Chains A and B, each alone.
Chain A
Amino acid sequence: MADGVDVEVALSLGAFRLAVAWRTHTRSVALVGPSGSGKSTVLRILAGVERRARGHVRFAGTAWQDAATFVSPHARGVGWVPQDGWLFPHLSVRGNLAYAGAGATDVAAMADRLGIAALLDRRPRHLSGGERQRVALGRALLARPRLLLLDEPFAALDEPLRARLASDVAALTRERSLPVIVVSHHAADVETLAEERWRLVDGTLKRD
């Protein structure tokens, strides 16, 4: 990613403190660290849905946040797949996948790729955890993001499927030259998906 990610933010919410100064040009990066350390928060700040942090956030040369500006999440082109997926309950799988405006062919192709083609007319209520995870992934990818943020994307999947999907996502992001930041506890995920590993400890990020 030309110019890559350039983040320098501080966030203070009650007892929770985060002070991150981070620069990387690497295309695929993993964030690791103990639970509750703030990894998800870093992703939220990058996505633009966490407005309480102070500092600056730049991506590929564009200032997404600094003292003078705050670019709204809908204008950033970020694909964010939070933990638990958060599929829209009132839409079918197809409706969720197509949310950002993708055409029927693209939706079908992605569904095939992720192994969820048989579920297109189902409601999120009737999906298993793993199925929901995959739909959430597809929904974000179909929005043609410039940066992909994955928060424990394969948590609900069992081993074989997990490994397969991880390598699928890795291939997909390589095909599109899509920068990706993934938060994960799972060593194998990190291996497959990321070229670089950063550890978040005591509110600061350090290269692993």
Chain B
Amino acid sequence: MWVLLHACGMPAPPPPGEPDRGDEPITLTALAASSLTDALPEVAESWKAHGGVASVTFSFDSSSKLIKQLEAGAPADLLFTADADTMSAAAHQGSIASDSRRDLLGNVLVLVVPAGSTWSPTSASELVSPSLAHLAVAGENVPAGKYARSALESAGVWTSVEPRIVRGDNVRTTLGWVTRGEADAGVVYASDAHSEPAVRVAFSFPPASHPPIVYPAAVVATTEHRAEAAAFLAYCASADAQAIFAEAGFTPPPSAAP
């Protein structure tokens, strides 16, 4: 078949398993946590413009679902998660090249209210107020949901707030409730709040009130484009890319030192 195609004068696809011959445009597939939906594609564009050797396509979902997809054999080259535990689970199941793992970003957990809201709590302890009929939060099994619970528990308001929590299936739904005034407030990442003009940040949760928010990234073990994937990862850590992430509301990764 390969010979026939070659004889017809068509460029034949490289037989599977062989390294790239570098004469066709490469597209990398990246599985990434939902909160990176706006920023990562912009970074990929910037990489291309600055001499990046590949295009990147993205599949965004919750971190836990992403590693399950990998475990089920989904073809991908890169993995970006929204917490360390999920990335460690990916390492444990052998889905990533452990030596490629690095912490890329951090984030801040914030409380948002509708932009025109008259109620503006200044700290988590005020959430016991009856002004809060409903608090929009992520699902209890995704990183954002877990961070939120920690933060509320630390502030001692969890038992009071829990019955009023409504959980969105993704941040669009969660923010959507706040922008429409259905929920009086929401707990989201600063980067999410940044992308939605119809909400306003009331306050940030103290970083000590929850496990550090970190976005690890790694190359997928079964990638066919190891070098290119590593190159993109390196670019994500570069000053140019970090500036784009900062613009979108992310922070540098929390320092490893305790």
Indicate yes or no for A touching B, C-beta below 8 A. Answer: no
